[in-house]
Amino acid sequence: MRISDILKEDKIRLSYEFFPPKANSPFEPVFNAVEEVAKLKPAFCSVTYGASGGASANTMKVAGYIQNELGGSVLAHLTCVLSKKEEIEGKLQEMKDQGIKNILALRGDLPTDDPDRREKDFMYASDLIKYLKENHDFCLGGACYPEGHVESQDKDTDIGYLKLKEEVGAEFLTSQMFFDNNLFYNFMYKIRDRGIRIPIIPGIMPVTNVNQLKRIKELSGAQLPAKFVQIADKFRDKPEAMKQAGIIYASNQIIDLISNGFKLVHVYTMNKPEIAESIHDNLSNIIES
Ligand code: FAD
């Protein structure tokens, strides 16, 4: 199903994100994880894209498995900045062969060892979205950053580029993770004020291990509210307690988002079905699958 149609349904639902196995790693653990999560009847599952090391082929295989073996709706991520047009076309053909209808069109991160390395066919996500809209028939989404993208000069300029994504064909935006819903609501106010009208799917990351925090901060730049830092400090040396507290924190964020009118929330599950199951249990009388 196209995500634009899923978003029109009057139902409160969750979607879940998976990452494919690295090149030469087995598929079985990922297939098992998506099978477990499929039982929760998510709105859709997304599969991330790794541009290097053969992992991109694995994205298509996991996405195809969800679509064809599990009968679920799937959102395949696709990054462009390190790919030539011909390579992108090859990926699109693979997606069509698998019956995939939805793409999260991204620029992708620049390599840390060589930040100037890029192919010139698609410099930004909006270039990819425009190309896909003009030449293919996928339902297209893009990424948005409630606290601003880490490279952006300022938040207003960043929002201008989000507007461009809508103008060239994005039908929805999925957000970077955030831990303070008020920052997200503030962002929503700003983007609506700037005329962005497409649906925004908030992205929530259940932090179940304090070791994740440094990387989360580096990758997303998301602020950690005092309430969350207190939880992490308290349960730093008690992994099971931290896991439970992290899942409850994320569940509360989701309940707050739903109470504020968001029907679809995307959960970064890190391929751990037990996290998705616990959140689903916490919201069992709220979710309308
Ligand atoms: P863009 O929208 O192109 O923005 C990148 C930067 O350039 C921003 O600072 C923006 O302000 C600026 N910019 C945009 N357009 C222009 C313009 N025309 N002129 C000048 N500056 C401009 N990465 C992966 O490798 N694989 C994944 O599967 C993946 N999934 C993701 C899913 C979500 C929901 C999110 C939020 C991120 C994901 N990422 C993934 C990370 C993403 O690739 C990085 O954040 C990347 O640095 C930016 O991608 P983008 O599509 O947001 O880029």
Q: Which CATH number covers residue 271?
A: 3.20.20.220
Identify whether 89 is a catalytic site residue: no
pLDDT of residue 271: 95
Measured between alpha carbons, how far is 157 from 145 in angstroms, rounded to an integer? 12
Residue 289 domain-assigned (yes or no): no
Measured between alpha carbons, how far is 158 from 73 in angstroms, rounded to an integer? 30
Residue 149 domain-assigned (yes or no): yes
Measured between alpha carbons, how far is 131 from 122 in angstroms, rounded to an integer? 9
The answer to whether the predicted template modeling score (pTM) of the entire model surpasses 0.75 is yes
Residue 287 domain-assigned (yes or no): no
- pLDDT of 120 > 70? The answer is yes
Q: In 10 A of CB 240, how many CB atoms?
A: 9
Residue 288 domain-assigned (yes or no): no
Residue 156 domain-assigned (yes or no): yes
Residue 229 domain-assigned (yes or no): yes
Strands 13-18 and 264-268: parallel
Taking only the tens place, the pLDDT of each residue in 79-112 is 999 999 999 999 999 999 999 999 999 999 888 8
Taking only the tens place, the pLDDT of each residue in 179-230 is 999 999 999 999 999 999 999 999 999 999 999 988 888 888 899 999 999 9
Which of 128, 161, 264 has most ligand 1 atoms within 8 Å of its beta carbon, as the pocket-test mutant? Answer: 161
- Report, as an integer, the average pLDDT of 245-263: 98
Q: How far is the CA of 149 from the centre of ligand 1 (A)?
A: 7
Contacts of 154 (CB under 8 A, 6+ apart): 148
What is the position in ligand 1's atom list of the atom closest to the CA of 123? 3
Closest C-alpha residue for ligand 1 atom 24: 108
What is the position in ligand 1's atom list of the atom closest to the CA of 177? 36
Our count of domains for the chain comes to 1
Closest CA to 159 of 151, 150, 168, 148: 148
- pLDDT of 53 > 60? The answer is no
For residue 88, what are the domain limits? 3-282
